[in-house]
Structure 1
Amino acid sequence: MPPAPVFPLLCPVCRDALQLGGGGARTLVCGAGHSFDASKQGYFNFLVGKGTVFEADSADMVAARFDFLSAGHYQPLADAIAELAAPALLATPGLRGVVLDAGTGTGHYLRAVLDRVSRDLAVTRDLSADPVPAVAIGLDISKFALRRGARMNPEALNVVGDVWQPLPVAENAVDVVTVVFAPRNAPEFARVLRPGGRLVVVTPRPGHLEEVAGLTGMLGIEPAKDERLAASLGQHFAPVETRDLDLALTLSPRDVANLAYMGPAGHHLDRAALAALEAALPECTAVSARFRISVFEPIP
């Protein structure tokens, strides 16, 4: 049997190292005796103390995102993220790379990364000897998202946590951090990444979903978004590569409703009004999705 993955986790209470405890893969224990049991859905809850001031995605928002992503509309984006992340996860022969998906949501993008690493490894060695392609940690503030993420990526360690708090991950322990439409805690990402590691960030570009954004009440693209991204990361990261991706989508009325409800606007959208809009939409709606994938390396 191959050795089980060792997750470089820190206790959210005392910052001591966490290890699998007496409950096997369902219990994490630190040296000070703080213990965390997995939920029946397979995730760990690391929200301690006062918790967070941020509103987590609801079960309905997560269900909308799961249905939309499972339909494959954003699969080219997932594939592009995986292509950019895989080299850093395969940089050291014979060792598993470590990936942290910050804001993992339903786990679709992390799944694409792990599948890409598996395919690349299959070219060079027999995966039956070690079927775990990488050590994966999925972090999200929504327990409803982690219920989905834990099923999507059972080999990953899925954690409910606040990205704006100190991350429950050891220093210089991660090869890749992926952040897809999620908050970016630059100092913490730089702390957990190894020298030469990669931070892969996905943001929307002007014109993203413009055909339906106004109709559905989705939030618009903030002006000077690229400049703010660079400024927020500039003290800790240097840019490596930027890739733009445009997708021409053909969406059903339900797809459009899911698209609107799965994002930040879902916190305040009127479900009845959205249902009425869905009923009035044509059978197919052409929508342009415009993404920017930015890759950074930590500044030594």
Structure 2
Amino acid sequence: MPVAPGPRSRLQCPSGHSFDAAKQGYYNFLTGKGTSFTADSAAMAASRATFLEAGHYGPLADALSAMVRSALAHDAGAPVLVDAGSGTGYYLHAVTRQLAAEGSEAATPSAVAFDISKFALRRAARLNPDAAVFVWDVWRPLPLADESADAVLVVFAPRNPAEFHRVLRPGGVAVVVTPLPSHLREIADVAGLLDIEEGKTERLDAGMAEDFELIDRRTLEFTLSLSPADVAAVALMGPAGHHLDPAALAQRTAALGAETPVTAGFTLSAYRPLPA
């Protein structure tokens, strides 16, 4: 599927099938049985937007943008970005804005975003009005043509290496962000966060090895200063948000000090597709 920058209310395939966007700006391709996975709720998407828009993960967005920019330095054309598991579109917005600021008008990036949560994608579509935004399960074959993308972003999201390899052009890049074991450790108990298992990076490399080679890896750690409301938001925006009771969480976080120092820790890994 070719994608060009600019707002769009309808897509049409070469066979003549057309797809209308929802009024919130996204396309829902998950028709019929949809997906067996549980999508983020409206409340989870709202918590994520609140936390990210406050700038707490700004250093991560900057580091991600820098890694993508470095990996695409060989290509003077307009890149096509795919955000797999986009959520509210915060990181896609950061990367496209950075690439657009440093390139010419002819090199303005195009973007495609996928997520199973329509509530998150409503926000992603508003934040990225020039992107094509789809409700879709990234575990399935992506509705994109072979070798149609220059970069795939995977930030705390499921990975489908075979499909990422298929849609990436030779010389493209997949950039994957995962949390370090130290991530949010100071508030893990009070916020009811899920454990971050050891060996996550090794399992990531093993899962990507058949289709990709690692070309760059960076770790990023910095200290957040979080209010009780921030702690509640960061808990509710992630996987634990499916199980947490917001009222009980608010009671626990209210016992914290006005500001709690919290570690944010991430691994950023860039992979180049192996020759087919």
Q: Displacement, 1:48?
A: 2.5
Unaligned 5+ residue runs, structure 1? 9-19
Task: Measure the CA separation in 2 of the matches of 1:33 and 1:99.
Answer: 25
2:85 equivalent to 1:103? yes
Which of 159, 171, 176 lines up with 1:196 in the alignment? Answer: 171
Q: Displacement, 1:119?
A: 1.9
1:1-300 counterparts in 2 under 5 A? 6-7=2-3, 25-89=8-72, 91-93=74-76, 95-121=77-103, 125=104, 127=105, 130=106, 133-300=108-275
Task: Measure the CA separation in 2 of the matches of 1:39 and 1:28.
Answer: 12
Bigger mean CA deviation after superposition, 145-154 or 277-286: 277-286
Q: Following TM superposition, where does structure 1 have runs of at least 4 consecutive aligned residues deviating by more than 4 angstroms?
A: none
Unaligned 5+ residue runs, structure 2? none
8 Å Cα contact 1:89-1:99 kept in structure 2 = no
8 Å Cα contact 2:190-2:253 kept in structure 1 = no
Q: Displacement, 1:32?
A: 3.7
Aligned residues: percent identity?
A: 53
Task: Measure the CA separation in 2 of the matches of 1:288 and 1:212.
Answer: 9
Q: Structure 1's 242 and 89: CA in aligned 2 closer, same or farther, altered over 3 A?
A: closer
Aligned residues: 274
Q: For residue 14 of structure 1, what is the aligned residue in structure 2?
A: none
Partner SS for 1:57: coil
Partner SS for 2:130: coil
* Structure 1 counterpart of 2:264, one-letter code: A
8 Å Cα contact 2:82-2:112 kept in structure 1 = yes
Partner SS for 1:25: coil
Q: Deviations over 1:266-298 (max 9, x none)?
A: 000111211211322210011001100000001
8 Å Cα contact 1:57-1:267 kept in structure 2 = yes
Q: Displacement, 1:96?
A: 1.2
* Structure 2 counterpart of 1:7, one-letter code: V
RMSD of aligned alpha carbons: 1.8
TM-score (norm 1): 0.87
